[in-house]
Every structure is written in C-alpha cells, then in structure tokens.
Amino acid sequence: MESSEAARLDREFLALGVSCNLSLFPTSPLTPIISPMRNFLIDTDTASDDAVALIMALRYDDVRVEAITVVSGNVPVDQGLKNALYTTELCGADVPVYRGEAGPLKREAEYAQYYHGEDGLGDQGYPDPKGSAQPHHAVDAMIDTVRRFPGLTLVTLGPLTNVALAVQRDPETMATVGRCVVMGGAACTVGNVSPAAEFNIWVDPDAAKIVFDSAIPIEMVGWELSRHEANILAQDIEDIRAIDTPLAHFAIDCNDTVLKANLNETAGAGISLPDPVAMAIALDPTICTRKSAHFVDIETSSELTRGMTVVDQINVAGRDRNHAAWGKKVLSGRKTTVCWELDVAAFKSLLRKSLT
C-alpha cells in the first residue's frame, strides 16, 4: 500500500475514533485487510474489580490498550501498580504501566482495603509481578498517549487525580480524547461510601470537578449500575468457575473479600463489579441501554455531601434562581452523558467471554 494511501486511511479511521497500524497490513492493492483497532488508555487504582476490568479490555478483539496509568485509591499507589502489572502478566499482555499520584490533589489519601483486602486482590497471596513500572510519571504518559492517539478512549476506574493533573497541564491535548468513560458517581441515587457519594469521586472531589468541568467528553457510569441483578450472583460465580481457566478463577478469587464486604456494606448479594460494568460500556456502548446528556457538578466543600455527583436530570440548572450555583457550568455548555441503564445479560456475557 502506498504510504499516502496509508496516511489517508489512517486519517479516515481517526475521524471514526479508531486508528490502525497500517504497517501490519498486507500490501495487496486489491484486497487490503483493514483491521482497525480502537486505542484505549486506562487509569486505575488497581484492586479486584479494576483487575477484572483490565482483563476485559486486554482480551477484547478490536481494542489495543496503549497504556495503563495507576493512581492512589483502593490501595496505596505502589500496591495498585503491582496489581496492574500482575494482571497484565496474567493476560500475557505487553502494555506499559505507569505510576501516578500517591494521593488526592488537596486531601489525605483514603483507601478501600476494608472492601478489596489489604493487597487489593482479596489477600490471596499472589506473587510479585515480574515486570516493573515505566520510568515516566503517569500524568506525562497520559498526555503523551493522548497526543499519539487523538480520539482514543480513556477509561477511568479510580479517583480522577491523574486525569485532573493532565487536564491542568495540557487541556488542549486532553480535549482530543474521543470518549472518556468514567466509573464514578451516583446519578440521582445513594452513594456507596457515604449516603451521598461514590468512592472514586468522594476520594478526590477536587480532581473530579476539574475533569467534569473540562472539555473531555465524559460518559458517567455510576456505581448504581453495578447493583442488584448486575452483581455476580451464586449462579454467575458457578458459571465463571466452570470456564475453568486461570483468568476465570482469578476473577472470582481476587474478589473474595468483596463478596463478604458487599453484603456488609450494601446488603448486596454476590460480587459487585463497578469497574467491569464501566469497561463493558466502554468496549460495547450498546450495553448501556439508556443514556442522556446533562449538566453534572461535583460537591467539593460540604462535609455532608462531599463528592456528590449532582445531575441536572430535569434541566432546571439554567433557571435564574440557580445562577449562583450553576451559572458557570451552564455558560460553559459542557454536559456529561449519564448512563442510566445496563443490559445486564450482555454485560455478564462479555465478562464470561473475556475469561475464557
């Protein structure tokens, strides 16, 4: 294939939000085999549900994970780093992993080891990974990766500290992200870490506000989508065990503490998998069966509602009476796509497929 033709195809695919490595293609002028890959960048506070989400992306057919950036959240950042490396190695994937921020922008670090285990992976005694992190900081890597793959899909599975710093440092580059699927928040419903807020947003609400105010096109997947029938219930656990691959057993074993904690914390039966739900929607947008765009703002000052994702669900933010609180947001015109409903069967089927 002529290089100008290759460049033209590359541009066309970029416009579609995908890119392709044309150097891999056969050269026949009649039947070029075009195999477009979607480029993903994943930011994660890698604990048990993050690990399962990473597996789903790493094993999805038309997706290439260009980089994994790790942030403090469920576990201290160095533990998250180990867990991300361990998971990529389990998948046999060769993806660069970068160490990011060790705590929120303005607050003390908070962890969720009560939920995911001391090591974040259910305290199963997994060995240390063989590989190590790349030398660059996650925020630099994030900006560089977005520059190299404009239109890429950014999936965030943890507090938004790394992403906020990238936005502050290079807002123009970060605005070229094609989709940003955020596992975070609770849209017009209860939180999981406080009555008002979901963990990822609650940990670093200041970062979340920067990201939700930015030009990045956000699709918010709140924790409520992973509740009730979306939990991995006894029959689902049996079905996954029956797949009988190392990945299938890992997905269940590393969520051992979550199985117990989910019951204690939320009275939910089964394993709650918020990150895999968000990843499923990132991989296959049809898995979100109802979504709409709204102004969304983040509470950063109240103790009572810290980290609440306030969704202008019935479009009243623009009224005069709300000018003081919402004027700036409304003027910016920046809305967030809120995912309201999940195709649970499709989610579980994608999950099982990724573990075979």
* Per CB under 6 A, 199 contacts ligand BDR: yes
Give SS3 for 344.
helix
* C-beta closer to ligand BDR: residue 9 or 273: 273
Residue 139 backbone dihedrals phi, psi, to 5 degrees:
-70, -40
Compute CA 227 distance to the chain's CA centroid, rounded to the nearest angstrom: 17
Task: Out of 66, 101, 119, 198, point to the residue binding ligand BDR (CB under 6 A).
Answer: 198
Concatenated DSSP letters for 248-265?
HHHHHHTTHHHHHHHHHH
**Residue 162 binds what, of Ca ion, ligand BDR, none (CB under 5 to 8 Å, by partner type)?**
none
Q: What is the CA radius of gyration of the chain?
A: 20
Task: Out of 223, 250, 295, 326, point to the residue binding ligand BDR (CB under 6 A).
Answer: 223
Compute CA 42 distance to the chain's CA centroid, rounded to the nearest angstrom: 6
Over the window 29 to 48, marking each residue x when it contacts ligand BDR by CB under 6 A and - when it does not, the resulting string is ------------------x-
**Closest by CA position to 224, among listed 274, 263, 158, 265:** 274
> Which residues in 254-283 contact ligand BDR (CB under 6 A)?
274-275
* C-beta closer to ligand BDR: residue 168 or 194: 194
> Which residues in 103-132 contact ligand BDR (CB under 6 A)?
112, 115
* C-beta closer to ligand BDR: residue 112 or 252: 112
Residue 7's Cβ-count burial label (10 Å; 0-12, 13-18, 19+) is exposed
Task: Out of 79, 192, 300, 336, point to the residue binding ligand BDR (CB under 6 A).
Answer: 192
> Which residues in 242-281 contact Ca ion (CB under 5 A)?
275
**Residue 192 binds what, of ligand BDR, Ca ion, none (CB under 5 to 8 Å, by partner type)?**
ligand BDR
* C-beta closer to ligand BDR: residue 112 or 167: 112
Task: Report the nearest approach of ligand BDR to the CB of residue 111 (Å).
Answer: 9
CA distance 155 to 162: 12
Q: Where are the beta strands (DSSP E) in the chain?
A: 38-44, 63-70, 97-99, 153-156, 179-183, 218-221, 288-294, 296-298, 309-311, 336-342
* C-beta closer to ligand BDR: residue 215 or 269: 269
List the structure tokens of 297.
Answer: 């703002």
* C-beta closer to ligand BDR: residue 219 or 275: 275
> Which residues in 154-183 contact ligand BDR (CB under 6 A)?
157-158, 183
Over the window 72 to 101, marking each residue x when it contacts ligand BDR by CB under 6 A and - when it does not, the resulting string is --x---------------------------
The terminus-to-terminus CA distance of the chain in angstroms comes to 36
Task: Out of 9, 40, 50, 91, point to the residue binding Ca ion (CB under 5 A).
Answer: 50
Q: What single-letter amino acid sits at 48?
A: S
CA distances in angstroms from 327 to 10, 29, 37, listed in the order given: 41, 56, 40
CA distances in angstroms from 6 to 1, 3, 22, 29, listed in the order given: 6, 5, 6, 11
Residue 344 near residue 351 (C-beta atoms within 8 A): no
Task: Out of 41, 138, 155, 157, point to the residue binding Ca ion (CB under 5 A).
Answer: 157
Task: Out of 100, 122, 151, 158, point to the residue binding Ca ion (CB under 5 A).
Answer: 158
Q: Cβ-closest residue to ligand BDR?
A: 199
CA distance 279 to 156: 9
**Residue 153 binds what, of Ca ion, ligand BDR, none (CB under 5 to 8 Å, by partner type)?**
none
**Closest by CA position to 73, among listed 210, 288, 274, 230:** 274
Task: Out of 38, 40, 50, 337, point to the residue binding ligand BDR (CB under 6 A).
Answer: 50
State the residues that interact with Ca ion by CB under 5 A: 45, 50, 157-158, 275
State the residues that interact with ligand BDR by CB under 6 A: 47, 49-50, 74, 112, 115, 157-158, 183, 192, 198-200, 223, 274-275
